Amino acid sequence: MDKYHPERTLPVPVEEILEFQCGITIIPMPGLKQVHEIDAFTGKGQSSIFIDQGVFEQKSPFRYRFSLAHELGHIELHREVQAQIEFSTVDEWKTALRKFPEHQRSTLEFQAYDFAGLLLVPREALKAELEQYIKILNRAKFDLKNAAYTAKPYVCTKISKSFAVSDQVIDRRLDKEKLWPP
């Protein structure tokens, strides 16, 4: 993170990091989601990310940002694995992936999802945002000790706006970092 985004501003500028820091081209592709049932994939040579045009046009801005971060996770974590995949079309890419054992595919996907969450929602920034909302709840005399899980969806929704991610991403990050219940 320090290498590509030392300012640590929120939301993390994943698109700029990809294009200007990593030299990765983002290429919108019409019908990727409708025809192939995927939001994005890393192009051959790992110098491009193809993303569904509807997602690219930010009809779903959270999905767009997370998809880019997820694919960057594959590039950063699975460079050698991806280099083994020979393909010229999306169908060939999907076929090549199916040749990997299910447990390996699941592990690769889990790692890329984890990477995306860590990139877009850094731990220290998450802690700082959470502390703000805990103070708000405390001032409102909300009983966090007995109703923490009632408050969690509210807190996740509020925090998600700062990071420009879905509330589900915040929920998972809070759990992963063991920050909830506070």
What's the rounded Cα separation, in Å, for the pair 79 and 25? Answer: 16
Whose tokens are 């045009």? That residue is 53
- R_g (Cα) of the chain, nearest Å: 18
pTM, whole model, 2 decimals? 0.93
What's the rounded Cα separation, in Å, for the pair 144 and 148? Answer: 5
What confidence tens digit (pLDDT) does each residue in 28-44 have? 999 999 999 999 999 98
| Averaged pLDDT of the chain | 93
CB of 75 closer than 8 Å to CB of 42: yes
- pLDDT of 67 reads 97
Report, as an integer, the average pLDDT of 22-26.
96
Residue 1: pLDDT band (50, 70, 90) is: low
Residues paired with 52 in a beta bridge: 29
Residues 6+ apart with CB under 8 A from 55: 33, 39, 40, 63, 64, 67
Residues 6+ apart with CB under 8 A from 130: 155, 159, 174, 179, 180, 182
